[in-house]
Amino acid sequence: MQYLLLIYANEAETAAMNPGSRESMTAEYMEFTKSIIQGGQFKAGDRLKPTSAASTVRVRNGKVLTTDGPFAETREQLGGYYLVEAKNVDEAIAIAARIPGAKLGSIEVRPVWPPMT
């Protein structure tokens, strides 16, 4: 089964990190990504630009309504994701626990519906 691992963190806190911690965080992420690619679990993964760059789109009565900012104001914001292949939720949780961001924010583990056939 595929799981989407959504990485949430407080953007303000992440932005305020000192350069040294930021560098070691980046190194940890590269190391982690390499390990799940080698393990065959990696399907996709990206870091997202901050929510200040986000737009939210709705279509109402056929009209496109675009607003500035994320869909909802929350304490932690979506900052990146991995799409992984795992045997079951235990394996997905184990992978999520190794994501460097899990130490600062939180990881939501969401099973993905298999594609419709």
Partner 1 sequence: MAADDLREASDHRLRMGIEEIFRREAGRVLATLIRLLGDFDLAEEARQEAFTAALEQWATAGVPSNPCAWLIQTGRNKAIDRIRRDAVFRTKVLEEIAGAETQPASVAAEADDDSFGDDRLRLIFTCCHPALSGEAHIALTLREVCGLTTQAVARAFLVSEETMAQRLVRAKRKIRDAGIPYETPEPPLLNERIHGVLAVVYGVFTEGYAATAGSRLVDAELCGEAIRLGRLLDELLPANQAVPGLLALMLLHDARRRARVSDTGDLILLEDQDRSLWDGSKIAEGLTLVDRAFSIRGQMSPYAVQAAIAALHVQSRKKEDTDWQQIVGLYEVLLRLQPSPVIELNHAVAVSMVDGAERALNLVDSLAARGQVSEYHLLHAARGRFLQQLGRLRESREAYCAALGFATLEPERRFIASRIAHVDKSLSPI
Site residues (CB under 8 A) for partner 1? 1, 3, 86-90, 92-93, 109, 111, 117
Beta bridge partner(s), residue 16: none
Tokens describing residue 83: 């799409």
Write down the least CB distance from residue 97 to partner 1, Å. 11
Write down the least CB distance from residue 107 to partner 1, Å. 13
The residue with tokens 């870091």 is 47
Beta bridge partner(s), residue 58: 65
Classify residue 54 as exposed, middle or buried by CB count within 10 Å of its CB (0-12, 13-18, 19+). Answer: middle
Residue 39 or 69: which CB sits closer to partner 1? 39
Report yes or no: 107 and 12 within 8 Å, Cβ to Cβ.
no
Residue 14 or 41: which CB sits closer to partner 1? 41
Write down the least CB distance from residue 108 to partner 1, Å. 12
Residue 65 or 89: which CB sits closer to partner 1? 89
Write down the least CB distance from residue 82 to partner 1, Å. 16
